[in-house]
Amino acid sequence: MKKYIAEFIGTFVLTLFGCGSAALTGGIDGTLGILGIAMAFGLSIVAMAYAIGDISGCHINPAVSLAMLIAKRMDVKDFVCYVIAQCLGAIAAAGVLKFIVSSSSNLDIATSGLGQNGFGANSYVGLSMGGAIVVEIILTFVFVMTILGVTAKAKTAQVAGIVIGLCLAFVHILGIALTGTSVNPARSLGPALFVGGEALSQVWVFIVAPLVGAAIAAVVYGAVCKTEEA
């Protein structure tokens, strides 16, 4: 149970601080901009990796957990419980973020949003649905391949949190203007549930595409990159 609670907490922090950095500061054109928002997501991973990494491995992302399942680094029971905990953590964080936005006289969910993902009119560059699917598969592939590689050996375990956090910031730098960057179905589900409308109708892309990207990464890593783990 400690593992599942840790995953809830980690995903809560990632969603609140990552999505909150976008919603509360004006998004791409706001105070933080793309680089600042990307770093907020990345630093959330770094913080949580060293806080809960020894407890649960700090997946805080159903796509990462799926890759670990395919790579036989976790069993089906833990996978299901991890995903439930992650989704609940993201939903709770989105609820808190909605409360914060609603409590401000200068913010409005209709204009600030909750850091939700989107395509078409909801993409900063007007990216199509097909483009969004391709982008999310590629970004998740890169992110999950990095995780599988850096966590494969004990000698890289001490720096894994920093590497994974920087990689998440890295993929956000490209992806924010395109889709808002998901690479994490739980992080996408939480805000979409509270924003509703098109955000909710489009969220399937940001659930399916990251899972596909993660599955491809796990298969490719196992076939091409895997060495003896120690």
Q: Domain for residue 41, yes or no?
A: yes
With bands split at pLDDT 50, 70 and 90, how would you rate the model's confidence at 157? confident
Query: DSSP strand E in 58-192: where?
Result: none
- CA atoms within 13 Å, Cβ hemisphere of 205: 26
Q: 84-123 pLDDT, tens per residue?
A: 999 999 999 999 999 999 999 888 888 889 999 999 999 9
**With 80 as the cut, is the pLDDT of residue 219 above it?**
yes
Q: What is the DSSP string of 122-177?
A: GSTT---HHHHHHHHHHHHHHHHHHHHHHTSSGGGGGGHHHHHHHHHHHHHHHHTT
Q: Domain for residue 230, yes or no?
A: no
Q: Domain for residue 137, yes or no?
A: yes
C-alpha to C-alpha distance for 157 and 142, rounded to whole angstroms: 19
pLDDT at 111: 86
Domain of residue 78 covers 2-225
Q: 114-125 pLDDT, tens per residue?
A: 999 999 999 999
Q: Residue 68 belongs to a domain with what CATH number?
A: 1.20.1080.10
> How far from chain centre, in Å, is Cα 150?
18
- How high does pLDDT run on average in the chain? 94
- Torsion (CA) 47, 64, 163, 160 in degrees, nearest 10: 80
**With 90 as the cut, is the pLDDT of residue 7 above it?**
yes
Total domains, the chain: 1
**pTM for this prediction:** 0.93
